[in-house]
């Protein structure tokens, strides 16, 4: 987690809204900066049925928006749905090249695109389907055009208002999450392109682009310690075209920064290029990364991100792509084409795990748990009598007993959650590994949904330094190299030996900038995340694991605000996930009247439901961790917002216990309260987010929570009024 950053970002966004007036209800057109399908101003769906002209993208004679008959325009015979083979309709080429925009918009002389007659073929992708022709673009269409000549391919993203040229005619394009990013496979390379148009720092006096590019894009790419720690080489270190200022040059940032990018590579544009080799690649499929970021000088928001990964250094190809890039006014609406599939039980599950999954996902009640402390994973503490085992077990039982009796009024844990990291250290050869705590899992959990014991949610993270990203350390490259395979095999065998079902929450909050496995920590490439997820899954299967339910748990609002870093970019595939996880905190750190400012549980999780609905509507969700704070002392008096916290909890139970719960509440099957604080210093005086609700004599820091009795009563009442198991 990085709750401090999320709180700061909320303040920054609020400041920007005050300046731009985004909070006003009156507006002339929908705005969807966070790309959640809901207008940021009026909260109406972006797919509103209001429209000024009929649109018939699928040529069925009916308007795609309102369903009314459409007269005129192309008929079914004139424009047909086709496979993705290259089309040769010259009229379409003329329309795209000469009429869709100005005649000069798509001229790329260096690549042989001088006029429409140079085009030998094309593909016309409209709202998820390929057509044999394109002679018009509607206001609610998502149009992508691929134009081919004898040697090259021009990729035109009409909805994004950007285009560029690739040095190949053999291109396999993936538009699955084209609203966020598009991928192009050609030769021995994969190019990920995202047209960026989000920058929450519009009110920054430092300069919106300066803040965005340094904090949410190149922060690690300009730090030489990052390359050293991961055994990477920055091949163009001496030819970057811009100056890297050392840590301390910017008093507001504790890392190297770049005042301005390369202004000479392409006059009128600011460019950032990084050519990176993964040394000792082992089993890494693509050991070379050629990254390019480009925007027009004085344009603080719109930019293009290109991440080209290859089997050989393709710096010249990346450079040609950057030179060919052009930006123009977007037309239509960008969309995703991610298939909304039902969750599928893992075919490797044993009968007990199948039964638990069925019971968990179909229950009318909710499964509750709390995270208070992690079970030890060091070798010395795995068994009774060793290391910290006995002390941790005693403390874990005491905290659970206290919460169940004093805070929850007799309600028992349904789920016991623990965290384990990969280990502690730097490179794989000197990491002290953390192992799966089989014995303590049996003692504190051991449930299967039917035996009266809590089921286990095991959160496992690819980090060796507790996600302290400022240390410039991530184990992801060594995982790709195969250096952790033996360790993963032991992890698999230990989890199998536990025998009971395990909700395995791997690498939560990946769509952020504060985890070791996030895209910003790994060459701006979420594919590194998905490949290492699949690698672990396959090792589990090879070792006979039959009791793991895989939980995919992004945070509700992605940060960095970007397309390339959105949550779906991190989805490993339907074969590797069975349960949806959710996380959205209400830190409740307001300095004014919190009762009028806090964001309700309903708002947090109905918004998340609407974001997920197009892709995971029929999935069950476990809120992998959440809480509402009572007010940290870093922004005011400790516990000052306790009444708002209690009101928040009461509102939560009103939603969950309703006779006819809203769809978002029905999707939620489990909830884990995060009973830990965020600290900016030591002791109570350093609490930034006060999320705990346990008594002083139970926790490690001897902190007093007796002021939260109203919150405790809200929990007791909520559980007393909850639907009972029939």
Asked which of 129-143, 318-332, 352-366, 684-698 is least confident by mean pLDDT, the reply is 684-698
Distances (CA, A) of 687 to 66, 155, 629, 641, 715: 53, 50, 11, 14, 23
Whole-model pTM above 0.75? yes
HSE-CB of 196 using CA atoms within 13 angstroms? 27
Burial of 486 (0-12, 13-18, 19+ CB in 10 A): exposed
Two structure tokens written together for 115? 């006029």
Q: Is 421 helix (H, G, I), strand (E, B) or coil?
A: strand
Q: Please give the Cα distance from 121 to 85 (Å, whole number).
A: 9
Q: Is 404 helix (H, G, I), strand (E, B) or coil?
A: helix
CB 660, CB 607: distance < 8 Å: no
Q: Please give the Cα distance from 113 to 149 (Å, whole number).
A: 7
Q: Please give the Cα distance from 349 to 333 (Å, whole number).
A: 41
Q: Please give the Cα distance from 166 to 182 (Å, whole number).
A: 13
Q: Please give the Cα distance from 356 to 502 (Å, whole number).
A: 10
Whether the pLDDT of residue 321 is over 80: the answer is: yes
Distances (CA, A) of 557 to 604, 616, 693: 10, 16, 25
CB 384, CB 378: distance < 8 Å: no
CB 411, CB 404: distance < 8 Å: yes
Unique residue bearing structure tokens 């085992």: 389
Residue-wise pLDDT tens digits, 52-72: 455 565 555 556 655 554 543
Asked which of 339-353, 637-651, 712-726 is least confident by mean pLDDT, the reply is 712-726
Whether the pLDDT of residue 49 is over 50: the answer is: no
Name the helix (H) or strand (E) containing 529. helix 527-542
Whether the pLDDT of residue 571 is over 80: the answer is: yes
Residue-wise pLDDT tens digits, 146-156: 999 999 999 99
HSE-CB of 524 using CA atoms within 13 angstroms? 34
CB 331, CB 159: distance < 8 Å: yes
Q: DSSP code of 724?
A: P
Which CATH class name applies to 366-720? alpha beta
Question: What does DSSP say about strands 326-327 and 303-310: parallel, antiparallel, or unpaired?
Answer: unpaired
Q: DSSP code of 237?
A: G
Residues of the chain with CATH 3.20.20.80: 366-720
Distances (CA, A) of 161 to 100, 111, 304, 331: 11, 20, 11, 7
Whether the pLDDT of residue 388 is over 60: the answer is: yes
Q: Listing from the earlier edge strand, what are the strands of the sheet with 232-234?
A: 172-174, 182-186, 189-196, 303-310, 288-296, 269-278, 232-234
Whether the pLDDT of residue 7 is over 70: the answer is: no
Q: At what angle do helices 642-656 and 709-720 cross, to 10 degrees?
A: 10
3-state secondary structure 314-335: CHHHHHHHHHHCEECCCCCCCC
Predicted local confidence at residue 694, as pLDDT: 87
DSSP secondary structure letters along 30-67: ---TT-SSB-TTT--BSS-S--SS---TT-SSB-TTT-
Unique residue bearing structure tokens 């002290």: 432
Whether the pLDDT of residue 41 is over 90: the answer is: no
Q: Please give the Cα distance from 209 to 411 (Å, whole number).
A: 51
Measure the CA angle with vertex 80, ends 76 and 84; round to 5°: 170
Return all residues near 367 (Cβ < 8 A) that are at least 6 apart: 360, 414, 415, 455, 622, 669, 670, 671
Beta strands in 65-186 (DSSP E): 81-82, 121-126, 129-131, 143-148, 153-157, 162-166, 172-174, 182-186
Q: DSSP code of 686?
A: G
Asked which of 267-271, 322-326, 502-506, 633-637 is least confident by mean pLDDT, the reply is 633-637
Return the exposure string of 705-723: e unless at least 16 CB atoms fall within 10 Å of the residue's CB, then b.
beebeebbebbbebbeeee
Asked which of 11-20, 299-308, 504-513, 679-688 is least confident by mean pLDDT, the reply is 11-20
Whether the pLDDT of residue 44 is over 50: the answer is: no
Longest dimension (CA), the chain: 82
Q: DSSP code of 725?
A: P
Residue-wise pLDDT tens digits, 103-150: 999 999 999 999 999 999 999 999 999 999 999 999 999 999 999 999
CB 631, CB 690: distance < 8 Å: yes
Q: DSSP code of 97?
A: I
290-316: average pLDDT:
97
Whether the pLDDT of residue 36 is over 50: the answer is: no
Percent share of the chain, pLDDT over 70:
88
Q: Please give the Cα distance from 213 to 297 (Å, whole number).
A: 13
* Mean pLDDT of the residues in the chain: 90
Unique residue bearing structure tokens 């019971």: 359
Q: Please give the Cα distance from 356 to 353 (Å, whole number).
A: 5
Q: Please give the Cα distance from 57 to 131 (Å, whole number).
A: 10
Residue-wise pLDDT tens digits, 440-476: 999 999 999 999 999 999 999 999 999 999 999 999 9
Predicted local confidence at residue 301, as pLDDT: 95
Two structure tokens written together for 569? 């970019």
Residue-wise pLDDT tens digits, 235-279: 999 999 999 999 999 999 999 999 999 999 999 999 999 999 999
314-328: average pLDDT:
98
């Amino acid at each position: 987690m990085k709750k401090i950053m999320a709180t700061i970002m909320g303040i920054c966004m609020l400041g920007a809204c005050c300046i731009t007036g985004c909070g006003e209800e009156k507006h002339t057109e929908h705005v969807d900066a966070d790309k959640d399908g809901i207008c940021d101003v009026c909260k109406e769906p972006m797919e509103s049925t209001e429209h000024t002209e009929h649109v018939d993208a699928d040529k069925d004679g009916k308007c795609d928006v309102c369903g009314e008959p459409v007269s005129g325009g192309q008929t079914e015979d004139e424009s047909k749905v086709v496979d993705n083979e290259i089309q040769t309709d010259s009229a379409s080429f003329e329309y795209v090249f000469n009429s869709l925009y100005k005649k000069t918009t798509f001229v790329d002389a260096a690549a042989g695109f001088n006029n429409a007659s140079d085009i030998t073929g094309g593909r016309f992708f409209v709202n998820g389907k390929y057509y044999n022709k394109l002679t018009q673009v509607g206001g609610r269409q998502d149009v992508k055009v691929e134009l081919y000549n004898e040697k090259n391919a021009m990729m035109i993203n009409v909805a994004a208002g950007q285009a560029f040229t690739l040095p190949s005619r053999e291109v396999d394009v993936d538009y699955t999450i084209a609203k966020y990013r598009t991928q192009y496979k050609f030769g021995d390379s994969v190019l990920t392109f995202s047209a960026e148009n989000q920058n929450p720092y519009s009110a920054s006096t430092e300069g919106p682009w300066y803040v965005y590019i340094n904090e949410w894009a190149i922060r690690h790419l300009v730090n030489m310690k990052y390359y050293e720690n991961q055994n990477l080489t920055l091949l163009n270190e001496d030819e970057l075209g811009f100056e890297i200022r050392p840590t301390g040059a910017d008093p507001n940032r504790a890392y190297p920064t770049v005042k301005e990018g390369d202004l000479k590579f392409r006059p009128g544009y600011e460019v950032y290029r990084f050519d990176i080799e993964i040394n000792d690649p082992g089993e890494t499929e693509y050991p070379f990364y050629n990254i390019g970021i480009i925007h027009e000088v004085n344009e603080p928001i719109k930019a293009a991100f290109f991440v080209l990964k290859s089997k050989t250094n393709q710096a010249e190809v990346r450079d040609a792509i950057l030179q060919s890039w052009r930006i123009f006014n977007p037309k239509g609406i960008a969309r995703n084409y991610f298939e909304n599939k039902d969750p599928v039980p893992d075919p490797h599950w044993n009968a007990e795990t199948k039964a638990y999954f069925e019971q968990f996902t179909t229950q009318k009640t909710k499964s509750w748990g709390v995270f208070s402390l992690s079970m030890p994973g060091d070798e010395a503490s795995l068994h009774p009598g060793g290391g910290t085992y006995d002390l941790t077990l005693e403390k874990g039982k005491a905290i659970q007993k206290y919460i169940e009796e004093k805070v929850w009024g007799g309600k028992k844990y349904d789920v016991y959650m623990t965290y384990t990291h990969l280990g502690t250290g730097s490179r794989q050869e000197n990491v002290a590994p953390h192992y799966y705590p089989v014995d303590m899992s049996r003692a504190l959990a051991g449930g299967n949904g039917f035996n009266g014991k809590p089921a286990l949610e095991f959160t496992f993270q690819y980090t060796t330094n507790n996600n302290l990203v400022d240390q410039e350390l991530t184990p992801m490259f060594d995982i790709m190299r195969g250096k952790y395979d033996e360790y993963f095999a032991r992890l698999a065998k230990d989890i199998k030996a536990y025998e009971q079902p395990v909700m395995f929450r791997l690498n939560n909050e990946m769509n952020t900038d504060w985890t070791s496995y996030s895209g910003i920590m790994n060459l701006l490439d979420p594919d590194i995340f998905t490949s290492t997820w699949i690698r672990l899954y396959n090792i589990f299967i090879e070792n006979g694991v039959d009791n793991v339910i895989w939980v995919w748990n992004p945070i509700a609002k992605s940060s960095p605000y970007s397309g390339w870093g959105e949550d779906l970019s991190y989805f490993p595939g339907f074969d590797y996930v069975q349960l949806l996880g959710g996380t959205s905190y209400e830190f409740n750190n307001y300095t004014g009247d919190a009762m009028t400012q806090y964001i309700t549980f309903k708002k947090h999780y109905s918004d998340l439901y609407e974001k997920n609905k197009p892709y995971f509507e029929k999935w069950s969700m476990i809120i992998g961790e959440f809480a509402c704070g009572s007010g940290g002392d870093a922004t005011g008096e400790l516990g000052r917002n306790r009444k708002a916290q209690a009101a928040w909890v009461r509102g939560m139970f009103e939603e969950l216990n309703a006779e006819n719960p809203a769809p978002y509440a029905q999707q939620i099957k489990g909830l884990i309260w995060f009973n830990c604080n965020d600290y900016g210093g030591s002791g109570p005086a350093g609490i930034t987010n006060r999320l705990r609700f346990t008594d002083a004599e139970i926790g490690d820091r001897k902190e007093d929570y007796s002021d939260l009795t109203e919150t405790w009563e809200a929990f007791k009442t909520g559980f007393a009024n909850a639907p009972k198991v029939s």
